[in-house]
Chains A and B, each alone.
Chain A
């Protein structure tokens, strides 16, 4: 049993300085090193975001496509927000142990997935719902099948909005993952835990800086992805219609509002521009 993880503490001198610890090659390599902890964290977070996306996007897209679940979407998001991840993971640990799956990684995996699903679900639902009915009618008139309309029109046009949901989810997941170190696991949060356990401020601060840096980088990476990759994709998929109608194929205002609901910063940006 790998459990009782916090007893396995990285062997670090008590009087080590913050930068001495951060810039020592030995800190980064080895089984307890930063690189391997980082890989551990990234692996889990990627798995969570991928699974959450695979769960949320098809379900939300299908519901929005057939026009069901009008009430389910906001409810889903509110309940999702109300779930304290640490508590849920804690609740799952005894159950996981009882079933022989150990401390890790299922409890934290499930808890983080529950955290990630609501924002992705909401943005997908409203993005698909928000596609101009005229565009959908036009596609049907051209002989598009139901599946074709959903995949090549509704989802394609909603892609940028959906990606906003994935970004919000990913940042939340990366920012929350370090609690895993306090639930019998490791990952990048382990240095904070070990530092607190050993009363070693350098370790605590160093660990906190690493964890914060990863969360910030995740947000930046997704923002770059949104700006660079997605508009090109949407443009390519919408090119044929663009030429004829010259219309803006951005999902309409309601979809944008949904993206803002899960992304308060974005909503303020829009609120600003709306008034200027």
Chain B
């Protein structure tokens, strides 16, 4: 192939590129983060809706899960590609499959979270006269948080990886750097794109884990009870 540098003289990293193309790298990183957050946020909204239906009307749980499981099995390359004839090379083409892929994990974690609430707790809340909606939000949801947070972590990390694949339909943030580098046999953008997306996945995982930890102080301070339990537990965490 003409224009392809001889491999021996083609450096894996050209440091000048990092300086010269900093704007491009930054844009790709920001787009990657935006796409990931957008997809997971939309996925969470859809999953919350579907999970609510599944919890209210028991018979819908099977079909809803089966459908999201079916979506999850479709290869990413195929799903992105299938939409191109309809939505073109646009952000929509990237976001629809990304949202679809988050559903299985999110719906499952919400359902398992709510179903893990001990019946005694539910009955106690009922006995205290809480309405079903209030009971779900103030009693069951907090207890389901650890499961849901785990679901969000998995969804986030998976989405970071899938966004790179969205580069094949012209989106994809850091994935575009990988693809462009490959096309031009210019390894620097490729190395930058690949390592940043791995780092991004690990960072998201850590951040969501930390948020989940902060949201459920009682999980680490189960012995503390009473009105100030949560606050005391939060204060206790700062001690060595």
Contact = CB atoms under 8 A, between A and B. Distances in A.
Interface of A: 3-4, 6-7, 78, 81-88, 90-91, 93-95, 97-98, 171, 174-179, 181-184, 189, 192-193, 195-196, 201, 204-205, 207-209, 211-212, 215-216, 219, 264-265, 267-268, 271-272, 274-275
A84 B198 contact: yes
A179 B172 CA distance: 14
B190 to A, nearest CB: 5
B105 A81 contact: no
A200 to B, nearest CB: 10
B41 interface: no
Nearest to A182: B168
Nearest to A103: B182
Interface centre among B69, B76, B78, B190 (most CB of A within 10 A): B78
Interface in B139-166: 154, 157-158, 160-162, 164-165
Contacts of A7: 1
A95 B12 contact: yes
Interface residues of B, number: 57
Nearest to A183: B182
A38 to B, nearest CB: 14
Given A78-B205, A176-B75, A208-B77, A84 B115 contact: no
Given A84-B201, A204-B85, A211-B75, 15 more contacts: A82-B157, A84-B197, A86-B165, A86-B175, A87-B174, A93-B182, A175-B73, A175-B76, A179-B77, A182-B179, A208-B81, A215-B73, A265-B108, A271-B112, A271-B115
A82 B205 contact: yes
Contacts of B182: 90, 93, 182-184
Interface centre among A82, A181, A211 (most CB of B within 10 A): A82
